[in-house]
Amino acid sequence: MGSAQAALTVIDDAGQTVALRQPAQRIVALAPNLVEQLFAIGAGGRIVATTEFADEPPAARTIPRVARAHSVDLERVAAARPDLIVLWGSGFPLAVREALRALGAPLYVGEPTRLDDIASGMERLGVLTASAQAPAAAAQFRAKLAALSSTYGGRAPVRVFYQVWAAPLMTLSGRHVVGEAIGLCGGINVFESLAPLAPQVSVEAVLAADPQLIVTAEPGARASDALDLWRRHPQISAVRNGQLAIVDADKINRAGPRMVDEIAVLCDKVDAARRAR
């Protein structure tokens, strides 16, 4: 029993020990990226409840919904009889997290701060589910990251402004995994040194930074008017050279296995701005 229990013990992204006596069979997964990770390691069929935004892969869309933005139906979670609850740490207030913990099932918090945390997250979920596919899924993610770093990391730097929201104007600092992705592509996040994870900035600050690429994310990378405000400022290098870009929010804003594929798209956008200078 002791060795089996030790084999099913991990440290989650909140620094908490999560220990199971046997592999999880009934999982409540309260984050789209964690749902994607579980499917990637072959454990998606064990998810018995999830959040309304979990839509990938398509099989996830049939899983019962017990949560939405920042709120959870605790009664329905309890009724699902989970033997493991996994959630995104920033997705819910601390009080909700503690209420979930009080239900009695082990709680795993996913909160990646580095791209490699996505790979190690799949490995850790693999331990908790005894998934034989987890090591390969993690290795594939790391190999794709390494290939992108090898291809783009040594190229001439490009100043990048990543717009999260237009009003109020918000971006991501270097502490965010997207900030790390920009660097992997040979870009320089013009607000990488700001302390908040998602700081609010001013138009004047963006003008002073003079980014060579301005990028935002929309679901499905669909066209939008989110970047139109910058067209009124042709003095910005990105505007002058036509380097306003949109990437797929459903991939790059989710710390899941598909994120690396959209980072490749981002790297192409950075490279286009590099050539346009």
Q: What is the pLDDT, as a whole number, of residue 256? A: 96
Q: What is the pLDDT, as a whole number, of residue 262? A: 98
| pLDDT < 70 regions, the chain | 1-7
Q: Are strands 65-68 and 158-163 parallel, antiparallel or unpaired?
A: unpaired
Q: What's the rounded Cα separation, in Å, for the pair 44 and 29?
A: 10
- Protein fold of 153-276: Rossmann fold (3.40.50)
| 251 contact partners, CB below 8 Å, separation of at least 6 | 258, 259, 261, 262
For the chain, which residues make up each domain, given as ranges? Answer: 2-139, 153-276
pTM score of the predicted model = 0.92
Q: What is the pLDDT, as a whole number, of residue 250? A: 94
Q: What's the rounded Cα separation, in Å, for the pair 88 and 147?
A: 28
Q: Dihedral (C-alpha) 230, 239, 179, 135: value to the nearest 10 degrees?
A: 120
Question: 2-139 domain in CATH 3.30.450.20?
Answer: no
Q: What is the pLDDT, as a whole number, of residue 89? A: 87
